[in-house]
């Protein structure tokens, strides 16, 4: 992740975020976020709230900072030495970047699903059981079984794999692997799930399954999804945020963004015009 | 902040061409319908049965254009999944051509009445009441199509505003015809013919108003159907 913003006049074009970046009683709240890779600034003064049980889609051209922003939310950028993050990040009023916040525990509360399915080279069962074991969520084998089965069920995978839980997770199809990764994420009962292009490597049928799943998961989790597929953003999310060259250009109801965006840059991007 | 409705800046040139193409077809259809209305009215007011026949027999062209444009719009929706202003353009074209087709039908009615007028030996003087209404409606249709071509919200609103006078004129003609019928029941048949023509003209005005509403939707992204003009203006000022 060394995507950085350029173009010096960007501050003239995007003076402030258009639309409604703030919500009442947000699950996640971020204010004045700046991110630097070395001396290159990748994110400029982004302020955004994410509501409880909402699916928000982050869209924008490559290098616009949407993945960088997403990774800040569960401190994935901590692992990049040259990356410095400033601004305010709160999960239910708790400071995500506080000294006493354990990033490992934070990532259990804010889970992540990546673009390429990345199951551990272990059995399907162990893939899902790994997190609960690590965090000591199960007192005995029966409880662990229960967590594994219910997570696989919530991820819509259980029926397909119930007879081969000991088979390797890497032997599944792409779509199944991705749902396995989602089961692994929800096994530790997160509050928020971050998804970085979760369906971009999948065929249309597997994509539809994942999208259906996202809709169901919304009942229990808050979901932030980065996607390059405009139709996907339009289908799965309630709110959409458009990033451009490290700035948050516009946030609004997904229905409004896709029928009547307010900012010219948003319009240009979603209609496939030259920016 | 208004966004720019530039049709020619897509990364895909084919998409530019498709949108331009379907928009031009809709404008051509508008031109044809305008001619039909103008000819229908002329045939009626001057009792030209030949011209009336031409109008009545040309309606198929309007219908064929509607079918063709609908198909092109369907293909754009299927292939391009347009969003934002592109989506609004395709939707407003689909809706506009439906109204244009209905205007075509009303023009056909005018043509048919022009033929009847000649066959029944009705004096065209009995239709002169329609001239003023007809000119007004022609103007409205022209302005609506112009607002559509130029994507001009101001012109669209002005056209919608002028429909109030149209209603007054239509009501005046109705009252006058009722009086005629009461005074001389032998005139009922002719008076009803005139009334049907007035009704057709009034419908054309309504359809023109609809087209103006689609122009507002296309440019501003606001659906202003079924609201009063004042509410419309207030909403657009937000």
Report chain B residues whose CB lies below 8 A from the CB of A57: none
Q: Is A250 in contact with A257 (CB distance < 8 Å)?
A: yes
- A40-82 per-position pLDDT tens digit: 999 999 999 999 999 999 999 999 999 999 999 999 999 899 9
pLDDT confidence tier of residue B125, bands split at 50, 70 and 90: confident
Q: What whole-number percentage of chain B has pLDDT above 70?
A: 98
How far is the C-alpha of A75 from the C-alpha of A192, rounded, in Å?
13
**What would the DSSP string read from start to end of B110-164?**
HHHHHHHHHHTT--GGGGTHHHHHHHHHHHHHHHHHHHHHHT-HHHHHHHHHHHH
Copy the structure tokens of residue B170.
Answer: 């239509």
Copy the structure tokens of residue B187.
Answer: 């005139």
**What pLDDT is attached to residue A4?**
55
pLDDT confidence tier of residue A24, bands split at 50, 70 and 90: very high
Mean pLDDT for the stretch of residues B38-51: 93
**What pLDDT is attached to residue A14?**
78
Does residue B1 have a pLDDT over 50? Answer: no
Q: How many Cα atoms occupy the beta-carbon half-sphere of A224 within 13 Å?
A: 28
How far is the C-alpha of B79 from the C-alpha of B14, rounded, in Å?
11
pTM of the shown model: 0.88
- Write down the CATH superfamily of domain A10-118+192-270: P-loop containing nucleotide triphosphate hydrolases (3.40.50.300)
Q: Is B23 in contact with B7 (CB distance < 8 Å)?
A: yes
Of residues A144 and B121, more confidence is placed in: A144
Interface touch B3/A262, C-beta < 8 Å: yes
Copy the structure tokens of residue A224.
Answer: 């932030």
Q: What are the residue ranges spanned by the domains of chain A?
A: 10-118+192-270
Q: Is A112 in contact with A69 (CB distance < 8 Å)?
A: no
Does residue A129 have a pLDDT over 80? Answer: yes
Element (DSSP H or E) covering residue B216: helix B188-220
Residue with tokens 């169901």: A216
DSSP H stretches of helix in chain A: 10-13, 66-72, 103-109, 124-134, 141-154, 158-161, 174-186, 204-217, 230-236, 254-259, 264-270
Q: In what order do the strands lie in the sheet with A40-51?
A: A40-51, A26-37, A83-91, A94-95
Q: What whole-number percentage of chain B has pLDDT above 90?
A: 78
- What average pLDDT does chain B have? 93
Does residue B110 have a pLDDT over 60? Answer: yes
pLDDT confidence tier of residue A23, bands split at 50, 70 and 90: very high
**How distant is the Cα of B223 from the closest Cα of chain A, in angstroms?**
11
How far is the C-alpha of A70 from the C-alpha of A248, rounded, in Å?
13
Q: Is B119 exposed, middle or buried (0-12, 13-18, 19+ CB in 10 A)?
A: exposed
pLDDT confidence tier of residue B238, bands split at 50, 70 and 90: confident
Residue with tokens 């009215």: B41
Of residues A12 and B110, more confidence is placed in: B110
**How distant is the Cα of A231 from the closest Cα of chain B, in angstroms?**
8
**How distant is the Cα of A7 from the closest Cα of chain B, in angstroms?**
20
Report chain B residues whose CB lies below 8 A from the CB of A268: 9
- B128-178 per-position pLDDT tens digit: 779 999 999 999 999 999 999 999 999 999 999 999 999 999 999 999 999
Of residues A20 and A274, more confidence is placed in: A20
**What pLDDT is attached to residue A10?**
65
Does residue B70 have a pLDDT over 90? Answer: yes
- How are beta strands A247-253 and A239-244 bridged, if at all? antiparallel
- A196-255 per-position pLDDT tens digit: 999 988 889 889 999 999 999 999 999 999 999 999 999 999 999 999 999 999 999 999
**Nearest-Cα residue of chain A relative to residue B86:** A271
Helices and strands in chain B, H and E counts: 7, 0
Mean pLDDT for the stretch of residues B178-192: 91
- What average pLDDT does chain A have? 92
Q: Which residues of B85-97 are buried (b: 16+ CB within 10 A; e: fewer)?
A: bbbbbbbbbbbbb
Measured CB to CB, residues of chain A less than 8 Å from chain B are 18, 230-231, 234, 258-264, 266-268, 270-274
**Nearest-Cα residue of chain A relative to residue B6:** A273
Residue B74 sits at the chain A interface (C-beta within 8 Å): no
Residues in contact with B67: Cβ distance below 8 Å, sequence separation at least 6, in sequence order: none
Q: List the single residue in A18, A267, A274 with the smallest CB-CB distance to B84.
A: A267
Q: Is B10 exposed, middle or buried (0-12, 13-18, 19+ CB in 10 A)?
A: buried
Interface touch A259/B9, C-beta < 8 Å: no
ipTM associated with this complex: 0.82
Residues in contact with A116: Cβ distance below 8 Å, sequence separation at least 6, in sequence order: A201
Report chain A residues whose CB lies below 8 A from the CB of B82: 271
Interface touch B221/A259, C-beta < 8 Å: yes
**What would the DSSP string read from start to end of A181-214?**
HHHHHHTT--SEEEEESTTTTS-HHHHHHHHHHH
CATH match of B13-237 with 1.20.58.220 = yes
Report chain B residues whose CB lies below 8 A from the CB of A234: 83
């Amino acid at each position: 992740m060394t995507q950085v913003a350029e173009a010096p006049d960007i501050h003239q074009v995007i003076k402030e975020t258009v639309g409604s970046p703030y919500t009442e009683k947000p699950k996640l709240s971020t204010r004045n976020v700046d991110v630097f890779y070395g001396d290159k600034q990748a994110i400029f003064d982004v302020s955004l709230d994410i509501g409880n049980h909402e699916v928000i889609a982050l869209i924008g051209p490559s290098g616009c900072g949407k993945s960088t922003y997403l990774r800040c939310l569960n401190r994935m950028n901590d692992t990049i030495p040259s990356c410095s993050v400033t601004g305010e990040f709160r999960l239910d009023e708790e400071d995500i970047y506080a000294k006493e916040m354990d990033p490992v525990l934070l990532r259990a509360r804010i889970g992540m699903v990546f673009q390429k399915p990345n199951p551990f080279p272990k059995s399907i069962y162990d893939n899902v059981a790994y997190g609960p074991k690590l965090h000591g969520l199960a007192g005995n084998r029966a409880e662990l079984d229960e967590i594994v089965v219910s997570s696989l069920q919530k991820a819509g995978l259980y029926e397909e794999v119930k007879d081969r839980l000991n088979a390797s997770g890497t032997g599944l199809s792409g779509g199944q692997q991705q749902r396995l990764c989602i089961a692994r994420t929800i096994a530790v009962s997160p509050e928020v799930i971050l998804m970085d292009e979760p369906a971009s490597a999948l065929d249309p049928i597997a994509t539809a399954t994942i999208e259906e799943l996202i809709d169901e998961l919304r009942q229990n989790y808050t979901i932030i999804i980065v996607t390059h597929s405009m139709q996907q953003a339009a289908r799965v999310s309630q709110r959409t945020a458009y990033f451009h060259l490290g700035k948050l250009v516009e946030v609004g109801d997904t229905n409004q963004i896709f029928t009547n965006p307010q900012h010219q840059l948003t319009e240009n991007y979603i209609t496939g015009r030259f920016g | 902040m208004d966004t720019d409705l530039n049709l020619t800046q897509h990364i895909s040139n084919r998409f530019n061409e498709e949108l331009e193409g379907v928009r031009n077809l809709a404008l051509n259809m508008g031109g044809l319908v305008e001619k039909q209305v103008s000819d229908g009215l002329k045939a009626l007011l001057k009792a030209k049965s030949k011209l009336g026949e031409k109008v009545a027999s040309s309606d198929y062209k309007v219908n064929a254009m509607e079918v063709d444009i609908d198909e092109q719009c369907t293909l754009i929706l299927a292939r391009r999944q347009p969003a934002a202003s592109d989506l609004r353009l395709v939707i407003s074209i689909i809706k506009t051509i439906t109204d244009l087709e209905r205007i075509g039908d009303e023009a056909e009615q005018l043509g048919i009445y022009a033929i009847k007028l000649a066959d029944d030996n009705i004096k065209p003087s009995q239709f002169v009441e329609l001239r003023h209404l007809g000119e007004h409606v022609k103007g409205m249709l022209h302005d609506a199509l112009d607002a559509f071509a130029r994507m001009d919200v101001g012109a669209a609103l002005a056209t919608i505003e002028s429909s109030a006078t149209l209603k007054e004129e239509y009501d005046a003609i109705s009252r006058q015809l009722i009086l005629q019928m009461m005074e001389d029941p032998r005139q009922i048949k002719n008076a009803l013919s005139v009334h049907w023509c007035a009704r057709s003209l009034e419908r054309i005005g309504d359809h023109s108003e609809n087209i103006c509403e689609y122009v507002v939707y296309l440019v501003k992204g606001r659906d202003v159907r079924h609201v009063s003009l004042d509410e419309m203006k207030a909403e657009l000022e937000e």
